[in-house]
Structure 1
Amino acid sequence: MKRLLSFLLCFGILLFWSSCRDDFEFSPSKGQLEFAKDTIYLDTVFSTIGSSTYNLKVYNRSDDDIVIPTIQFENGLNSRYRMNVDGATGLSEEQEGKFFENVELLANDSLFIFIETTIDISSPELGALENQFLYTDRILFDSGSNQQDIDVVTLVKDAVFIYPNKDDVTNIVETLTFDVDGDGIQDDTNLQGRFLTDEELTFTNEKPYVIYGYAGVGAGKTLTMDAGARVHFHAESGIIVTNNGSLNINGDYSPDQETLANEVILEGDRLEPLYSDIPGQWGTIWLFDGSINNTINYATIKNATVGIIADGNQYATNDKLTITNSQIYNVSSFGIRGTATSITAKNVVINNCGQSAFAGTYGGKYNFTHCTIANYWNNSFRQFPALLLNDFIIDEDNTVFTNDLTEANFENCIIYGNDNPEFLLENEGDAFNYKFTNCLLRFENNNLEGTGNYDFDDTNFYVDNVFNDNPDFENPLENMMRIGEASGANGKASTQFSSGNDLLGNLRDSVNPDCGAYETVMFDD
């Protein structure tokens, strides 16, 4: 009985409240809308690739409930933009994302409009266009004297697209087949991609390249990238160089360090500022065992899973990889990972890697001069230091296999980071040859110093190095790795290994050069 009385009492209160309340009455808007932005800038997109979604907040600051008679694009149904208004997509399939009628907006309330675009630069109705252009439109709210508008602007770039074939019936995407293990037999892989045709083996600076899946360089072929080329990779994409194939990246010095116009830049295909420094957006540059004479000069490789993987060819006449005047940043695993291979590097900077900046594993031959091998990764815990050298691998049965580290010379380098120590030397075999000469090194470990590979008084392995002095990097968290006047690397390099210019084109001091890829500069305030 009490429950029934309570229900009747509540029901009576609701009836009384509803009888006193007027229904919402919406009056037409009178041009009094306010907007969070006066222009919507959709970041640069490639032709035919959809943009990210951007939003516009629209306010009704008045005390009246209003209805907006129409919201539409100025270019009407032909607009290359599409929008969603508070979850609605439009009145009909034809008008979807283009035209909205009688949009209600309560007093002192707001609504969201979400905008995106996909533009084909080759569409006939857009006319003859250059490699990039600004596409603009306006969102019109109401019409006549009450009309208000918001500009929408997008920079669209044409590009060369490289992607694997896909079977229209089975939807199976083409995968790469090549000799993976060097036994002369072609192996099927699960790597989506295809081999580049002869006509695709030169990347110019005329248009950017967008790669889906792995672009393969076949046996006896050479992929050449000209100075100023821009290469963008979709998720889980990259470049694979197979047996007797080569990669030659021929960048050049760029006087304007803001644009790096002459460098070759390899990064992901998301161009929004939000993605400019996000690691792991694409796969890797993979130099398989048997690929030869790979060279990289003046390149920036960033936001990959692994910057470069180099496998095998340890005893080849020419080095597997020669990399100079280049930068590798923001990779989720290793900057460069070499396995039983041979690498020569000069004026190279590696920083912000989820594991090691450089790892020379299962032996090999490595020579690094005037390189900055640093790691200021702060996205997660990392297992390894900036520099890792070992001469073994362990298979799934826990069997240990060793291979000679024939040489690993680090001359006039900086090896540093936000962990300690920042180099690790692990050997299980007989030949483990390494030497650090005139380097700035970070290593403080009382349990290891003075023993085994860490006897810093042994001149067979350590000569004229500086330990644990601040390198005075400009801003390592932002990959600004120049060194200042207070750097412990200043004047500590040897003229024996120093010549020519630093990474910025500055002539090295002929008497007291500095360690690392950069000569000292005075930072701007």
Structure 2
Amino acid sequence: MRHYYYVLVTLLLIALSSCRNDFSFEPSTGNLEFSKDTIYLDTVFTNIGSSTYTLKVYNRSNKDIKIPSVRLGQGDASKYRLMVDGIPGKVFNNVELLAKDSMYIFVETTINYNDFSAPDAQYLYTDKIEFDYGTNYQKVDLVTLVKDAYFIYPGRTNGVYEQVEVGVDENGNTLTTRGRNLNHSHPTNGDEFLWKKDKPYVIYGYAAVPSGETLNVQAGARIHFHAESGLIVQQGASLKVAGTKSVTEALENEVIFEGDRLEQDFSEVPGQWGTIWLRNGSTAHDLKNLTIKNAVVGILTEGNDGTDETLKLTNVQIYNSANVGLLARNAHIKGDNIVINRAGQAALACTFGGKYLFRQSTFVNYWSRPNQVAVAIDNGSDQQLIPLEMAQFDNCILFGSSNIPLSMTRNNSQAFNFRFNNCLIKFFDVAQQFSNNNLYPIANTTDYSNCRIAVNSNSFKPDFKNPNKNQLIIGNNSDAKAFGTTMTNPFLEDILGNVRPNGGSDLGAYNHVIFEN
């Protein structure tokens, strides 16, 4: 009996399925809708693949349709690549789309700059995605800016990449990382110890400046680092960045170090590349009008050459560092008109002692979480005790999203000399845990001379334009306005080249402005 029951059910299911009409697709009538009418694939370097971009195609009608053709305008010759409903290609016929439904088209490109005769180091490459023909014809434009570039990357022999030295382990064994030394007569790039502004530089692995050499970077140069890449300056070598003031928002004379992902979505993403590493024994670094963005550590500088200015920084900005903006270990640094913001641990970390002088600088940390600091200072650990010879801050701003954006760690067996003069400092000691700690401003007015201490949200505000977007110019209502001591040359100008007012300088790297509503 049970056997006959199963047979009856099977026959019933077959009968019901035979009553279903097959989908009937009608020709498209040219009324497709698109998520965008132009796809901008941002900027790509020659022979480097783009990100994948998405176009959504909608059938708003009540009918199932068949699109006779979906194709690239240049057909198989196009430098773009499509994927339609999971199928890669450049020309697709009879593409089906159900009523009130949509489909995705994914777009990528890889373009060789040398395939085209362009008069400049960049050009626009365009094509279009075409749908149907004749009166039903529709299109979506594709636009990509292609840049020529100098590429610096390690060679590979029998599957093994070139390596550069980065230190020694506890047993005295040499430590290395993937990279290569720069070359005075590279067959493609020419003299790699002069980074020019005519084309961007794209770095894979670590580019290394060997002992006895100096890397000079021209004003207007653009340096792009791939993931896990960076620049190493070895013992006895130097880095000179000769950026100058720009006159437009394009920062045409600024030198910019950043990642090689040029899409807008990556413009503020931290940790896209490694660091600028000034190793112990490197010397006489001079960096002017430089912006560093989106690194793990913006600058890592170790040791000093015995002078007060082993590293000299003028008009330097560091943003969006996954760990630290400027990490110094027993370094000697002089910095003027410095701006650092958004770092996963600290904007500025002066560690293992050293000697530091910062003037007219803005150290803040508006990270997405509130536990980071703007400035951290220490003089070593139990295993490595090094005196803090000096950490002096004149006419500076120390602020951020955390209540106390200043961390001071002292080992009593070593010198710990610090001083803040005419600074604006946030210090919300809500639990009064630092009220008797002489490292901090509530209990110590001697080493915080003539400083404005913001002890709550109603006192002494910097009035930044938009710190979450790294816009740290101060407004007309800032308590940093006209509070600093007047300084002589080279402090007659702020980081933008504006003349500082007489009779009291504004604190930080910027003169105040009146914000527009």
TM-score range, shorter chain: over 0.9
- Structure-2 change in CA distance of 1:34 and 1:458 (3 Å): closer
Q: Does structure 2 conserve the Cα–Cα contact (< 8 Å) formed by 1:437 and 1:463?
A: yes
Cα distance in 2, alignment partners of residues 489 and 128 from structure 1: 49
Cα distance in 2, alignment partners of residues 19 and 182 from structure 1: 75
Give the equivalent residue in structure 1 for 2:448: 462
- Structure-2 change in CA distance of 1:19 and 1:430 (3 Å): closer
Q: Residue type of the partner of 1:340? A: N
1:437 to 418, 421, 432: 421
Where does 1:495-514 land on structure 2 (aligned, <5 Å)?
Answer: 495-496=486-487, 499-514=491-506
TM-score in terms of structure 1 length: 0.91
Give the equivalent residue in structure 1 for 2:86: 87
Residue 149 (structure 1) shift: 2.2
Residue 495 (structure 1) shift: 1.7
Identity of aligned residues (%): 46
Residue 28 (structure 1) shift: 2.8
- SS of aligned partner of 2:350: strand
Cα distance in 1, alignment partners of residues 447 and 46 from structure 2: 54
Residue 447 (structure 1) shift: 2.2
Give the equivalent residue in structure 1 for 2:405: 422
- SS of aligned partner of 1:283: strand
- SS of aligned partner of 1:343: strand
Where does 1:68-79 land on structure 2 (aligned, <5 Å)?
Answer: 68-79=67-78
Cα distance in 1, alignment partners of residues 63 and 73 from structure 2: 27
Q: Does structure 2 conserve the Cα–Cα contact (< 8 Å) formed by 1:176 and 1:188?
A: no
Q: Does structure 1 conserve the Cα–Cα contact (< 8 Å) formed by 2:441 and 2:453?
A: no
- Structure-2 change in CA distance of 1:22 and 1:456 (3 Å): closer
Give the equivalent residue in structure 2 for 1:93: none
Q: Residue type of the partner of 2:415? A: A
Residue 272 (structure 1) shift: 0.6
Cα distance in 1, alignment partners of residues 302 and 342 from structure 2: 22
Q: Residue type of the partner of 2:439? A: N
Q: Which moved more, 1:74-83 or 1:18-27?
A: 18-27
Cα distance in 1, alignment partners of residues 438 and 29 from structure 2: 82
TM-score in terms of structure 2 length: 0.92
Q: Which moved more, 1:36-45 or 1:515-524?
A: 36-45
Cα distance in 1, alignment partners of residues 374 and 264 from structure 2: 27
Cα distance in 1, alignment partners of residues 314 and 169 from structure 2: 28
Q: Specify which structure has the higher proportion of strand.
A: 2
Cα distance in 1, alignment partners of residues 119 and 452 from structure 2: 57
Q: Which consecutive aligned stretches of 4+ in structure 1 deviate over 6 angstroms post-superposition?
A: 1-4
1:390 aligns with 2:378: yes
1:260 to 235, 251, 254: 251
- Structure-2 change in CA distance of 1:407 and 1:109 (3 Å): same
Deviations 1:362-408, CA, capped at 9 Å, x for gaps: 10000000000101111x464x5211110113xxxxx5321010111
Q: Which moved more, 1:133-142 or 1:224-233?
A: 133-142
Deviations 1:406-462, CA, capped at 9 Å, x for gaps: 111101000111112121221113311111110011123322234332365656422
Deviations 1:86-119, CA, capped at 9 Å, x for gaps: 1012xxxxxxx21222222222222111110000
Residue 147 (structure 1) shift: 3.0
Give the equivalent residue in structure 2 for 1:234: 226
Residue 137 (structure 1) shift: 1.0
Cα distance in 1, alignment partners of residues 264 and 398 from structure 2: 30
Where does 1:475-486 land on structure 2 (aligned, <5 Å)?
Answer: 475-486=466-477
Cα distance in 2, alignment partners of residues 146 and 513 from structure 1: 66
1:522 aligns with 2:514: yes
Give the alignment's Cα RMSD to 1 decimal.
2.2
Cα distance in 2, alignment partners of residues 410 and 327 from structure 1: 17
1:322 aligns with 2:312: yes
- Structure-2 change in CA distance of 1:454 and 1:24 (3 Å): closer
Give the equivalent residue in structure 2 for 1:222: 214
Q: Does structure 2 conserve the Cα–Cα contact (< 8 Å) formed by 1:324 and 1:348?
A: yes
Give the equivalent residue in structure 1 for 2:341: 351
Cα distance in 2, alignment partners of residues 448 and 100 from structure 1: 69
Cα distance in 2, alignment partners of residues 98 and 358 from structure 1: 50
1:294 to 261, 264, 285: 285
Give the equivalent residue in structure 1 for 2:276: 285
1:406 aligns with 2:396: no
Residue 14 (structure 1) shift: 2.9
Q: Does structure 1 conserve the Cα–Cα contact (< 8 Å) formed by 2:329 and 2:350?
A: yes
Give the equivalent residue in structure 2 for 1:193: 179
Give the equivalent residue in structure 2 for 1:269: 260
Cα distance in 2, alignment partners of residues 223 and 181 from structure 1: 24
